[in-house]
Chain A
Amino acid sequence: MGGAEHNKTAAAVREARPQIAVVKMYKAREEIYPREISGRFATLRWVCVWLTQLVFYGLPWLSWNGRQMVLFDLAARKFYIFGLVLWPQDFIYLAALLIICAYSLFLFTAVAGRVWCGYACPQTVYTEIFMWLERRIEGARSARMRLARQSWSVEKITRKSGKHLAWAAVALWTGLTFVGYFTPIHTLMHEAVMLALGPWEWFWIVFYAFATYGNAGWMREQVCKYMCPYARFQSAMFDQDTLIVTYDSARGEPRGAYAKLEAAASRGLGDCIDCSMCVQVCPTGIDIRRGLQYECIGCAACIDACDSVMDKVGQPRGLIRYSTDHAMHEAWSMDRIRARILRPRVLIYTGILLLIVTAFFTSLALRTPLKLDVIRDRGSMGREVEDGMIENVYRLQIMNTAETSRHLRIVVRGLDGITLATASAVDVDGTSSRALPARVRVPGGKAKPGSNRISFELQSQDGDRLDVREKAVFIVPH
């Protein structure tokens, strides 16, 4: 700061008298009108929107072996995912899935910052869809701002209500689709058309529709700024080599307008023409030129905007670009940045992720689609039956998690002369469980008084080598 300037400020301070102002701790939201943008990253985001939404809206309509391909049947406690049927006993897979999601998030964030937020997060995806509808109905940024300032007129009412109706339609369809993952969607749609939905179906459809409408239509960047926990703890996963959307201030500053093809040296200004396009396109309403901010969702709309402006003024692209903190401070080349991707942190995340993913799929592939629980009858200890045999009673809970019925043979082992007094052949229907009483006998004197370890075994009689073994206790009375 120059000496003259300093003196001026000091004088201003001396003249100023302290006064009391009221600071509000809560502020009304300022509406953001993001400008439409096209470019590499906008295209990439639309590709993500199409991909995720085709899967989301389409998947429940597909069938697999005469049932819905993906269905989470909460009432029956069975999750159908392609050829797989998961039971409550398989809950561990959900935990593993969540761990995989978490580690993927760690990995992607360490490498490229908030890519999830910028391209694939439902909040971003639905906001993108809702903004597209908004543009179609209310027009571009300037038209929308004008409309907002206008007093109420027929045109304003038509446009506004048209927009909300369109939003509500998308939201309702989303709600229906979501509920369609939990209750067969063909029946659901039929019921919806006939207005014969149950109260809980109504509730969840309206709930998810409202959440979609509210979050993508009204809340938008507020969700990312104030509600999303991931947005806040992402900074713990950033390091100096994480790719972030950055403004190259060394190249851009001092900013100011200049004529096209004017040489940088002669104009005494940086490359930034201060057109504020990067601010206008920002869905969270920030100025990226002020550096990395927690509001930035990494959508790269400002990169697309700035690139198009740089093309027009005849300067190289990349005034705003994906770069890293290190690269900015030490003027690294792109190759250097790429080399730093393979740093220990990333390698460790990748290693752990690969390990869990491998374990997850191996475990799923080796999963036995048959489970056996043995519950000893508590009412009686051992009893003596004919020929001096000792008898114990068990209840076998046989769960066939596959979708085809099974013929099984029950075998008991563990003691000399141990036999099964009840039928050893049993059929269990597909995706069902069966409780079966079983009497086991051991000749008197062959086993010690007290409890003896035995085991039950289920052997598949369908030609595949599948058997399940479960431990149990045989009690011989004194």
Chain B
Amino acid sequence: MADFTNGFWNIYISVLTLVGMLGCGILLWSQSKQKVLVEGDQSTEEAAAKALTTGHVWDEDLTELNTPMPRWWMGLFYLTIVFGLVYLVLYPGLGSYAGKLNWQSSTSYQEELKKADAEYGPLFDKYLHQDLKAVAVDPQAHAIGERLFLTYCSQCHGSDARGNKGIPNLTDHDWLYGGAPEIIKTTILYGRHGQMPSMGPALGSDQAVNDVANYVLSLSGSTHDPIRAVFGKTKFGNCAPCHGADGKGNQTIGAPNLTDKTWLWGGSIETIKTTIDKGRNNQMPAFKDFLGEAKVHVLAAYVWSLSNDPQVDSAAK
């Protein structure tokens, strides 16, 4: 807990705190009795009992009536001092002293997480041992999956899971890494890093990029310039290692299929040219450490059910 650069301030804070508490105690003790002048010739006890005022005079002639507070009340005051001292021993409060309990807000958060896991864990563990397709049929698992998706996935993929520019649509049948339930689970667990290298320098010129872009468009039968596409075909060898000679992509490395009309970043000629020229960098974060496998299992089943009808699938079995 190095909040201060100089050790002096630790001592300064500790002394100020302790002296303050001690001062409160002394004040309480010294103010609990007061000497007062009484007229009469009774004994001291009798005189004290008959004293009408506390002897406190201010503003010339104002006096304070002697109406004693209950003694337990003063006990409470002392108790606050005892409480404060005990607190300072147990918890961090005196400079850099960590306290006997070694309490920290961060560990307390971790403990609460552990507790929540212990409470809700069994609920998820129940599904972990089931086949993903079986989990997808379970209505309760579906509802949990929907909530998990809305909480953790919708920020990028959208509440409807239809994605966004550069973020895949999860409701269609076009998968970068494959749409089998186990593969979806792997994707969520470990994340994905999809990289399209910048091909501009390799192709050499804007014209070459334009040629390849037109060839790529021709693969899916989209509007393109047939002449440029012919030139582009000769240069597609640069792309074939990942996207394949036929342009159908490669799911093991997440290279997109270029022969369909689904575009991650957009299917206009300009966008495709930018993609080829500058490359693209896609990052799906890993959720294994954050959510744990059991939650990811339920989530994967939900995501799979977005593009498949689990009822039909289970009936077919």
Give me the interface of A with B, judged by CB distance under 8 Å.
13, 15-29, 222, 225-226, 377-380, 383, 393-395, 422, 435, 437-439
A390→B83 CA distance, assembly (Å): 64
Q: A18-B39, A21-B36, A21-B38 are in contact. Are A379 and B156 (CB under 8 A)?
A: yes
- Shortest distance from the beta carbon of B133 to any chain A beta carbon, whole Å: 23
- Shortest distance from the beta carbon of A241 to any chain B beta carbon, whole Å: 29
Closest residue of chain A to B52, judged by CB?
Answer: A23
Which residues in B have their C-beta under 8 angstroms from that of A13? 39
Which residues in B have their C-beta under 8 angstroms from that of A438? 159-160
Which residues in B have their C-beta under 8 angstroms from that of A24? 32-33, 48, 68
- Shortest distance from the beta carbon of A194 to any chain B beta carbon, whole Å: 21
Identify which of B31, B36, B41 contacts A20 (C-beta below 8 A). Answer: B36
Q: A377-B154, A379-B164 are in contact. Are A437 and B48 (CB under 8 A)?
A: no
A222→B147 CA distance, assembly (Å): 53
- B66 at interface, CB cutoff 8 A: yes
B47 touches A26 (CB 8 A): no
Which residues in B have their C-beta under 8 angstroms from that of A422? 160
A25→B27 CA distance, assembly (Å): 13
A17 touches B72 (CB 8 A): no
Interface size grouping (class) on chain B:
35 or more
Which residues in B have their C-beta under 8 angstroms from that of A20? 35-38, 44
- B229 at interface, CB cutoff 8 A: no
A435 touches B147 (CB 8 A): yes
A26→B71 CA distance, assembly (Å): 5
The list of the 3 closest CB pairs from A to B, nearest first, reads: A437-B159, A27-B68, A21-B47
- Shortest distance from the beta carbon of A217 to any chain B beta carbon, whole Å: 14
A26 touches B70 (CB 8 A): yes
Q: A23-B48, A25-B33, A393-B158 are in contact. Are A16 and B39 (CB under 8 A)?
A: yes
A17→B41 CA distance, assembly (Å): 6
- B194 at interface, CB cutoff 8 A: no
B44 touches A19 (CB 8 A): yes
Closest residue of chain B to A13, judged by CB?
Answer: B39
Q: A379-B164, A435-B146, A437-B150 are in contact. Are A25 and B40 (CB under 8 A)?
A: no
B70 touches A22 (CB 8 A): no
Identify which of B31, B34, B154 contacts A22 (C-beta below 8 A). Answer: B34
B66 touches A23 (CB 8 A): yes
| 0/1 string, B18-36, CB within 8 A of A gives 1 | 0000000000000111111
A254→B36 CA distance, assembly (Å): 34
Which of the listed residues A16, A20, A26, A395 has the most CB atoms from chain B within 10 Å of its own CB?
Answer: A26
- Shortest distance from the beta carbon of B83 to any chain A beta carbon, whole Å: 17
B37 touches A18 (CB 8 A): yes
Given contacts A13-B39, A23-B34, 20 further A-B contacts (CB under 8 A): A17-B39, A19-B41, A19-B47, A20-B38, A21-B51, A22-B34, A22-B35, A22-B44, A23-B35, A25-B31, A25-B32, A25-B34, A26-B74, A27-B70, A28-B71, A226-B69, A379-B158, A437-B159, A437-B161, A438-B160
Closest residue of chain A to B155, judged by CB?
Answer: A379
- B10 at interface, CB cutoff 8 A: no
Which of the listed residues B44, B158, B160 has the most CB atoms from chain A within 10 Å of its own CB?
Answer: B160
A selection of 27 A-B contacts at a CB cut-off of 8 Å is A13-B39, A18-B37, A18-B39, A21-B44, A21-B47, A23-B34, A23-B51, A23-B55, A23-B66, A24-B33, A25-B32, A25-B69, A25-B74, A26-B68, A26-B70, A26-B73, A27-B69, A27-B70, A29-B70, A29-B71, A379-B164, A379-B167, A380-B164, A393-B159, A395-B150, A395-B159, A437-B158
